[in-house]
Copies of this chain bind each other. A is one copy, B any other.
Amino acid sequence: MNVEFINPFLASLMNVLSTMAQTELKPGKPQRKQGEVAQGDVSGLIGMVGAQTKGSFSITFDEGLALTIMERMLGERPSSINEEVTDMVGEITNMVTGGAKNLLGEKGYEFDMATPIVVSGSNHTITHKCDGPKVLIPFTSDAGNANIEVCFDKI
Residue ranges of A at the interface with B (Cβ–Cβ < 8 Å): 39, 43, 45-49, 54-56, 58, 83, 86-87, 90-91, 93-94, 112-131, 151, 153
Contacts and interface: CB of A to CB of B under 8 A. Distances in A.
Given A39-B121, A115-B129, A115-B151, 18 more contacts: A43-B119, A46-B47, A46-B114, A47-B47, A49-B114, A54-B112, A55-B114, A83-B127, A86-B129, A90-B127, A94-B129, A115-B130, A115-B153, A117-B129, A119-B125, A120-B125, A120-B127, A121-B121
Contacts of A114: 46-49, 54-56, 114
A61 to B, nearest CB: 14
Indicate how many identical chains form the complex.
2
B129 A47 contact: no
Given A45-B45, A46-B47, A90-B127, A56 B121 contact: no
Nearest to A131: B115
Contact of A113 (B54, B91, B93): B54
A116 to B, nearest CB: 5
Interface centre among A48, A113, A114, A124 (most CB of B within 10 A): A114
Contacts of A83: 127
A127 B118 contact: yes
A94 to B, nearest CB: 8
A129 to B, nearest CB: 3
B49 A117 contact: no
Contact of A86 (B45, B93, B120, B127): B127
